């Protein structure tokens, strides 16, 4: 099994107050919410949302074929 996560960092949620790219805090917040969801066994796959509720990515556990 493998785990894949993909996050697009191209909207305003990933910028500082001056509009310059600064994705660290937003990516960390998304990953924290994802970690809580996984730990609570709420889902094995799904969409990732930024703090504004915009879809910015996805995650999925993928079984490996032998």
The kind and range of the H/E element at 39 are helix 24-39
Q: Which of 46, 47, 54 is nearest to 10 (CA)?
A: 54
The model carries a pTM of 0.89
- Residues 6-53: tens digit of each pLDDT: 999 999 999 999 999 999 999 999 999 999 999 998 889 999 999 999
42 compared with 55, residue with greater pLDDT: 55
The domain spans of the chain are 2-62
């Amino acid at each position: 099994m493998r785990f894949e996560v993909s996050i697009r960092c191209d909207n305003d949620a990933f910028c500082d107050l001056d509009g310059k790219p600064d994705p660290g805090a937003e990516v960390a917040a998304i990953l924290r919410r994802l970690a809580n969801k996984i730990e609570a066994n709420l889902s094995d796959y799904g969409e990732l949302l930024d703090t504004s509720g915009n879809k910015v990515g996805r995650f999925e556990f993928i079984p490996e074929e032998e």
